[in-house]
A and B are shown apart, each in its own frame.
Chain A
Amino acid sequence: MHEYSIVGALIERVRAEAAERGASSVSRVWVSIGELAGVDPELLVTAYETFREHTICEKAELSVNHVSARWQCPSCARGIADDAPLCCPDCSTPARLMSGDEILLERIEMEVSHV
């Protein structure tokens, strides 16, 4: 259940970003989670719902963007099929993960007062 520690880090980062801009509250948080990131998006949401009380994220909705795993040959750019060995069927070069290991805080929507 490392999703709880990830949510802890997420809320802390949002708090720091909001404080830097003098935001009074945060209304929405966007994250991207890759298929091979080792993070269960549903557990992440559950952890977020549990932990956001009494934090800057109390009223902030969490949007999770799911990113599929995509492997590709780094020399000839050929894609690797699901359930196939992770090397290029043409040139045997070890495949590279192009996307799918993201654990990213993408964007925060916050309420900021005019001065």
Chain B
Amino acid sequence: MCDTCGCGDTELVPVEVHDRILADNDHRALHNREHFDRSGVFAINLMGSPGSGKTALLEATARAFGDRYQLAAVSGDLATDNDATRLRAAGIPSGTITTGSACHLDARMIHNALHDLPMKDVDFFFIENVGNLVCPAIYDLGQHLNVVALSVTEGDDKPLKYPVMFRRADLVVLTKTDLLPVLPEVSVLGISEALAKVMPRPRLLPLSSRSGEGLEAWLSELTRQRPKSVAAADLQGANPG
């Protein structure tokens, strides 16, 4: 500290930031989205509780699509490679992100996983998030569509209990509807009413991955949404650089 002019003195300075704390993640997500768009890949962030039927939905999707579309996936889990093993057995090239203790996937993890997954000729890329109805909702991964799998066994008040997750959803897939006959206390109408209180544009697709009932509407939804990313890829091709 200087006695003559005060140089070296410190003062408290307020610095206004007003930016998202997760701005770095948002930036990486944007990068992922650009990568998907350039490759003509439609990316879906599939979220839901553990056991909600996310992996079974992807297995059923692969069976139903057959050779019509090329799928790829990455699964996030705290431990094990089980989901990716199941998906590979179903014919979906898949990777695993083992998160250890982390309860969600973030954009950096997806970016790193993409290095090991060739995207050439892939039409749909599914990101099977960590089973959790809270944390995954707040991280943008670069997806084009947020889908939440909700199973009928979870009860019809789940949307009201986890409003953050359902608000983020573009589409809710109600899984395991083949079990509805043994669950008289659960109704599709009750779930729809709960969704309307947390989703401004509630969209519910009831289906059973086991019986295949309702699956056609899910496939139609995917193919209807996909042209957006294909158009983006065409645009990139038409205007190189």
Please determine whether B21 and A31 come into contact, CB atoms closer than 8 angstroms: yes
A73: min CB distance to chain B, Å:
10
Please determine whether A37 and B197 come into contact, CB atoms closer than 8 angstroms: no
C-alpha gap A18/B114 in the complex (Å): 33
B185 at interface, CB cutoff 8 A = no
Known: A85-B196, A110-B15. Contact between A104 and B10, CB under 8 A?
no
- Residues in B with CB closer than 8 Å to A37 are 138, 164
**When the two chains form the complex, which single residue of A84, A101, A106, A109 contacts B18, counting CB atoms closer than 8 Å?**
A106
**When the two chains form the complex, which single residue of A10, A38, A87, A97 contacts B134, counting CB atoms closer than 8 Å?**
A38
Q: How large is the interface on B (under 10, 10 to 19, 20 to 34, 35 or more residues)?
A: 35 or more
**When the two chains form the complex, which single residue of A5, A23, A31, A86 contacts B200, counting CB atoms closer than 8 Å?**
A86
C-alpha gap A31/B24 in the complex (Å): 16
A59 at interface, CB cutoff 8 A = no
Q: How large is the interface on A (under 10, 10 to 19, 20 to 34, 35 or more residues)?
A: 35 or more
B91 at interface, CB cutoff 8 A = no
- Residues in A with CB closer than 8 Å to B200 are 71, 86-87, 94-97
List residues of chain A with CB under 8 Å of any chain B CB: 1-2, 5-6, 9-10, 12-13, 17, 21, 23-24, 27, 31, 36-39, 71, 83-87, 94-97, 101, 103-115
22 contacts between A and B (CB under 8 A): A2-B102, A9-B25, A13-B17, A13-B21, A13-B23, A24-B10, A27-B12, A38-B164, A38-B165, A83-B197, A87-B200, A101-B167, A103-B22, A104-B20, A105-B20, A105-B21, A107-B14, A107-B17, A108-B17, A111-B10, A112-B10, A114-B6
* CB-based closest 4 A-B pairs: A38-B164, A94-B200, A2-B135, A85-B196
